[in-house]
Amino acid sequence: MQDFLPAIYNRIHMNSARIAELLQPFLAPASNHCHSETGRRHGEESAVLSSAQLEYISTYIDILLRWNARINLTAIRDPGEIVTRHFGESLFAARHLFPNSPSVSPVPSVVKGLTRVADLGSGAGFPGIPIKLWAPNIALTLIESNHKKAAFLREVGRALTLTDINIQNTRADEVPQTFDVVTLRAVEHFAAALPIAARLLAPAARVALLIAHPQLDTARSALPRLTWQQPIHVPQSQSRLLLVGRLEQQE
């Protein structure tokens, strides 16, 4: 990604310092309240986003608010809430999926040397695009069947000069590829989407679900072939969880 933004999008509603402040709880090492162990790894420190990453987030918010006046992308209108509810949760997931520094490449796959990530039912681009901002060396596919929402995702991709990003304007069950990581957040018909997500998983791939606590049993029972990690509470939320499962390779 380049370190400049097209002038037409260089209209910042929130300054970078405020965005960084709001995101700090989601990028700090946090205890896992779902079980007795800590979520903090030995030597892990709070992450710090670069000035370029913070500018991308500000620009993304600007585009989201302008498009949201025409199509329903999010019920949240306040920029600060967009940072915490959408970007915070998404970057929290990104940090757990790719725990190395954003400057360090994730584990490569056999395709283009990049980890292949698919965001199913991407909508307004969460968590897929923030994960890409956190880990730029992934190959990101955004799967969105709604034409207007897919057009929005394309505009965000252009504005942020993202590379290795592919918007699939189709139903997820029609996507032929498989991926190393599949993410789901706030999709309609959650239970029906889970088997589709599992079909998109390559051997030994992971699925990452950003869900409410009542959806936990549904996810585990719908995908019994996955080995699930302990769920992790999302900061500043009473019921939001990150649940990650791995499809074990068949012998």
Q: Answer yes or no: are the C-beta atoms of 141 and 200 closer than 8 Å.
A: no
Give a yes or no: residue 2 inside a domain. no
Give a yes or no: residue 1 inside a domain. no
Report DSSP letters for 193-226, one per residue.
Answer: HHHHHHHTEEEEEEEEEEEEGGGHHHHHHH-TTE
Give a yes or no: residue 217 inside a domain. yes
CATH number of the domain at 182, please.
3.40.50.150
pLDDT of residue 250: 57
Give a yes or no: residue 198 inside a domain. yes
Residue 84 predicted with pLDDT over 60: yes
Number of domains in the chain: 1
* 165-168/179-185 β-pairing: unpaired
| Mean pLDDT across 54-73 | 96
Please tell me whether residue 80 adopts helix, strand or coil conformation.
helix
What are the backbone angles phi and psi of residue 241, rounded to the nearest 5°?
Answer: -130, 150
Instruction: Average the pLDDT over each of 35-49, 124-138, 218-232 and give the range with the smallest value.
Output: 35-49
pLDDT of residue 111: 41
pLDDT of residue 223: 94
Q: Nearest CA to 21 among 90, 80, 108?
A: 80
Give a yes or no: residue 194 inside a domain. yes
Q: How far apart are CA 216 and CA 194, in angstroms?
A: 12
Domain hosting 20: range is 7-247
* Interval 214-232: pLDDT, tens: 999 999 999 999 999 999 9
Report the 10 Å Cβ neighbour count for 167: 21
Helices (H) and strands (E) in the chain, counts: 8, 8
